[in-house]
Chains A and B, each alone.
Chain A
């Protein structure tokens, strides 16, 4: 479904600020895989997501989606295959447009935009039904500007907008990190529900190890631009936070003390 072949990315190459963000990343996702990604700050997780989505170009390597090499495809063309939710709840929606207008924009992720009306009677019904699955009552506020919603509501809407058109790959980059614990839990539950419902192939970056262990069928740990640990299947099911921390300590011994705070 998604293959990353030998992805390398260096920022500010040849200057004093040179920073190797990704080193020879190899990753292959099967349809329906739900991979959680953890790693300390600066590990390269966001860079990886941005390279998959086309916001950044890799220095070397290939991104393949559904057998198609998309490495040089523009961000907006590639968006036909990819659904995304960002960390910032403000980033995924247009604040001065209404809920139904935002949904109409999301609807056109996979369908070429024309001079038809974005919100038709039929679509409005569809939007209502889809919004109802969030159980936040947003289906009764179709004409409300999205800027008026709370952070949690906006993020729930962003999640719905990224997923209701069934993307080939769903990218979630710490999409619960900016929310208070209760709201974060809500979005986590919705994520689980939606990913299962649509059987989405998903990559989810999270700062929460508990969440990384509980969700998904695969787990990846990144550090210094590399994948340093991977677990899937039965191994992943048996994984605990404590075991993960030990694993991290075994691989990166000395850094453990400083990173523990970030990871937990």
Chain B
């Protein structure tokens, strides 16, 4: 049980990068980008093929990031220059990427089990530390390496995003999602900003895909199916649980949301009658719940507030009446 939770935190950290990408497109750019299902696999495919080809896994992962950037830019071009609506641009790119990913991998599945990956490298580097820790902490996971690496990496990415969104270019990017007419009247090239924003978003998604492939020991053509919903689930759960008042808060919430999502799925799968195949259904249900429950809570609060007000009004007219 603890081991299962431990690995869901590990995976959650790596998926958090993807969720941050989804946060950039959905929340910052206000662009529902479905490219994610494809670009996640593109990242995994590029990294796996390069690693099998003998390239350093860190460099392979960065190459995946670059490939994701290009995929996102392509979606941006479809939307801005091709004047195709956001949803359709993403869907078209997602479908196109399916074939491209197959071409990159040359087969539906590339195993990485015998390969040196980012995960094996850091685990080896951590061996001494793991042994030392084992003498202090009674609970013994296989290794602390991935958690430590994940926390470090995700923190760095988060801080870089937070800072970037405060730069002149970053502010313009946020304005594109907030008020296009306004940013255009202040010399912002909305087309270019949208393209760059989607590029950055999908770069993170692909980077996450590359790391997940190395974490799970393979890349697979189907590993991206429903990824956008998982990303959304993380964003929505995170925002609902941890708030999104400021950017700094929101990016943290998204990361925690990704981890919470993994934990929920792990726990759900321990329920007797649920099977692995039910994961996507559970995901959809979680998103629906996360979307509907806050609404219901809000309406309820509003109703109660109104009822109180009405009560107070009645009381005060009564008081007036009595005082006369």
Contact = CB atoms under 8 A, between A and B. Distances in A.
Contacts of B185: 53, 75, 79, 82, 84, 92, 162
Given A76-B189, A115-B168, A118-B166, A93 B179 contact: yes
Contact of A104 (B171, B179, B190): B171
B181 interface: yes
A105 B167 contact: no
A79 B187 contact: yes
Interface in A103-125: 104-106, 108-110, 113-119
A94 B183 contact: yes
Interface string B31-44: 00000000000000
Contacts of A183: none
A114 B172 contact: no
B108 to A, nearest CB: 40
Which range holds the interface residue count of chain B? 20 to 34
Contacts of A75: 184-185
Given A114-B167, A115-B167, A116-B168, A76 B184 contact: yes
Interface string B155-177: 00000000010111111101100
A168 B185 CA distance: 14
A117 B165 CA distance: 9
Contacts of B174: 94, 96-97, 101
A53 B167 CA distance: 26
Nearest to A143: B246
B169 A97 contact: no
A91 interface: yes
A116 B167 contact: yes
B186 A96 contact: no
A86 interface: yes
B86 interface: no
**Which secondary structure dominates chain B's binding surface?**
helix
A23 interface: no
A114 B167 CA distance: 7
B188 interface: yes
B175 A94 contact: yes
B312 interface: no
Nearest to A110: B187
A105 B184 CA distance: 10
Given A79-B186, A105-B188, A117 B175 contact: no
Given A94-B178, A94-B179, A118 B171 contact: yes
Contact of A118 (B167, B184, B188, B190): B167
Contact of A93 (B168, B182, B187, B188): B182
Contacts, number: 85
A95 B170 contact: no
Nearest to B175: A94
Interface centre among B182, B186, B188 (most CB of A within 10 A): B186
A96 B178 contact: yes
A77 interface: yes
A80 interface: yes
A79 B182 CA distance: 11
Contact of A95 (B171, B172, B179, B186): B179
Contacts of A94: 174-175, 178-179, 182-183
Contacts of B179: 90-91, 93-95
Interface string A162-187: 10000000000000000000000000
A149 B21 CA distance: 31
B178 A117 contact: no
A4 to B, nearest CB: 19
Contacts of A162: 185
Interface in A43-95: 53, 74-77, 79-80, 82, 84, 86, 90-95
Interface in B186-225: 186-190
A117 B187 contact: no
21 contacts: A75-B184, A76-B188, A79-B185, A86-B181, A91-B181, A91-B182, A94-B175, A94-B178, A94-B183, A101-B171, A101-B174, A105-B188, A108-B188, A110-B187, A113-B188, A114-B168, A114-B169, A116-B167, A117-B168, A118-B168, A119-B166
Interface of B: 164, 166-172, 174-175, 178-179, 181-190
Given A79-B186, A105-B172, A105-B188, 20 more contacts: A74-B189, A79-B184, A91-B179, A91-B182, A94-B182, A96-B178, A104-B171, A105-B182, A106-B186, A108-B172, A108-B186, A108-B187, A110-B187, A113-B188, A114-B167, A115-B169, A116-B167, A118-B168, A118-B170, A118-B171
The 5 A-B pairs with the shortest beta carbon distances in the complex, nearest first, are A94-B178, A113-B168, A79-B187, A118-B171, A109-B186
Interface of A: 53, 74-77, 79-80, 82, 84, 86, 90-97, 101, 104-106, 108-110, 113-119, 161-162
